[in-house]
Chain A
Amino acid sequence: MDFSWSKEQLELKRAVIEFARKELTDDLVQRDREGTFSRDLWQKCADFGILGLPIPREYGGQGMDRLTTVLMMEGLGYACKDHGLIFGMSAHMWDVEMPILDFGTEEQKQRYLPRLCNGQAIGAIAITEPEAGSDAFSLSTTAEKQGNYYLLNGTKTFVTNGPVADVFLVFATVNKKLGFLGITAFLVEKNFPGITVGKNIDKMGLKTNPWSEIVLDNCKVPVENRLAKEGNGVAIFNDSMEWERSCILAGFVGSMEKQLEETIQYARERKQFKQPIGKFQAVANRIVDMKIRLETARLILYRATWLKETQGSAPLDAAMTKLYLSESWVKSCLDAVQIHGGYGYTTEFELERALRDAVGSTLFAGTSEIQRNIIAQHLGL
């Protein structure tokens, strides 16, 4: 494996960092407190090209390879502390755009991808249900074919981007008897008859990214809005989860790097007992652990992305990446808070928010426990 980045790739990363420093600054503390999504920042990211990074140019994207996309998302996370925004964009990109690109018909790609890339439309994935969380394939939303359309019935919850989404990738079963191979994916637009989008669900972190419930009550979806064949939903979901688990945390690796730099600086400047606190081994050791976590997280991220891109499927590595990055991020946030002491606990220092945001990463796209189950299964256990 070649670990070096080209001059062009590093230039792109620098450009994203500069963009984020200049354009993605607003009163984040206030928006986090209020749980406000910024469509303005979303549009700025779309205009810069972030929303279409991995999408070919013919569909309105930037045509970047996946590793370059991940590097740029890492740059974004380094310079932008709005983890909710990054999370929402990542879900839009990996959970909606990529399934359309990988499984959609030419007509579906032309109809949806340009709008998703240029910011006109926001995408959301809707699989989780009130009674089907980790056991996602036990979902009960049904899709009944009637002539040239399907009628969808059921309730979805924890829909990332839900309240602001224009296009939902909804998973429903066309035949419960077939179990998980009855699950089928549909592209449902917010103005289709029979879909109701609920209010923003307040939560612990990632508060600038809105989540909601959606209710499908005889929601009429044209046959041409089915993504791939009936029963192909599990493959679509697994593909999107592999992308998500491999890549969604790329931005947060950048965030870990920025947090490490700020913590080192603080440990050098903050003096107690007449010396910088970084001179105390108890503090230095925590920072060393943060550094090792960052570098190992980075390597596992790049490796999983490379495998997924070159082999098409990398479920084991995707699960390991998701598990390791999310748990590393939480641990490093806790270390950063501890090193900053009382200041780290204050809202002003923005570490408590990062910690709240990080906890979510151990839950979405499959909890840490589910990732361990997947890994164990691949080990033949």
Chain B
Amino acid sequence: MEVNALVRQFIKTELVTDHLYSDLQDNDPLLTTGIIDSLGIVKILAFIQEQFGVNVDDREIVPENFETVQAISSLIQQKLAGKQ
């Protein structure tokens, strides 16, 4: 499965509690809708580490890297590329 699909699936399964967002798209906002909150970010960081084997540096925990599924996926892809 591609990175975007895995991230989207994880967020839908673990973080989306409101049925309004059950059809989550890659560019839907995650922060302004509260889908990712301060507890959710911990789960996402653990997921990224476990699923993709990359660590997110504290300095990378900023809005532009977590505002959408696309942004999170891009961050992961950059990190995966850096590992190669």
Contacts and interface: CB of A to CB of B under 8 A. Distances in A.
Interface stretch (A234-242, A268-276, A326-334): A234-242
Contact of B38 (A180, A229, A312): A180
Contacts of B67: 178, 181
A179 to B, nearest CB: 5
Interface of A: 102-103, 137, 175, 177-182, 228-232, 234-236, 238-239, 312-313, 315, 374, 377-378
Interface string B29-69: 00110101111011100100000000100110111101100
Interface of B is mostly: helix
23 contacts: A103-B58, A137-B38, A177-B32, A178-B31, A178-B63, A178-B67, A179-B34, A179-B36, A179-B37, A180-B38, A181-B31, A181-B36, A181-B41, A229-B62, A230-B62, A231-B62, A232-B62, A238-B58, A239-B58, A312-B55, A377-B42, A377-B43, A378-B42
Contacts of B63: 175, 178, 181-182, 230-231
Most chain A CB atoms below 10 A, which of B34, B41, B46, B61: B61
Given A178-B32, A181-B31, A181-B66, A235 B43 contact: no
B28 to A, nearest CB: 15
A180 B37 contact: yes
Interface of B: 31-32, 34, 36-39, 41-43, 46, 55, 58-59, 61-64, 66-67
A235 B63 CA distance: 11
Contacts of A238: 58
Contacts of A175: 63
A228 B36 CA distance: 21
Interface of chain A, helix or strand or loop or mixed?
Answer: helix
Given A378-B42, A378-B46, 15 more contacts: A102-B58, A178-B67, A179-B37, A180-B37, A180-B38, A229-B59, A229-B62, A230-B62, A231-B62, A231-B63, A232-B62, A234-B61, A235-B59, A235-B61, A377-B42
Nearest to B40: A180
Contacts of B37: 137, 179-180
Contacts of B39: 377
Contacts of B31: 177-179, 181
Contacts of A228: 59
- Among A234, A235, A315, the one with the most B-chain Cβ atoms within 10 Å of its Cβ is A235
A180 B36 CA distance: 9
Given A231-B63, A234-B61, A235-B58, A179 B32 contact: yes
B41 A232 contact: no
A227 to B, nearest CB: 11
Contacts of A230: 62-63
A37 to B, nearest CB: 32
Contacts of A137: 37-38
Q: Return the 10 tightest CB-CB contacts between A and B, nearest first.
A: A235-B58, A235-B61, A180-B38, A231-B62, A137-B38, A181-B63, A231-B63, A177-B32, A178-B31, A178-B63
Contacts of A178: 31-32, 63, 67
A315 B41 CA distance: 13
A140 to B, nearest CB: 15
B58 to A, nearest CB: 4
A179 B31 CA distance: 6
A103 B58 CA distance: 9
Contacts of B36: 179, 181
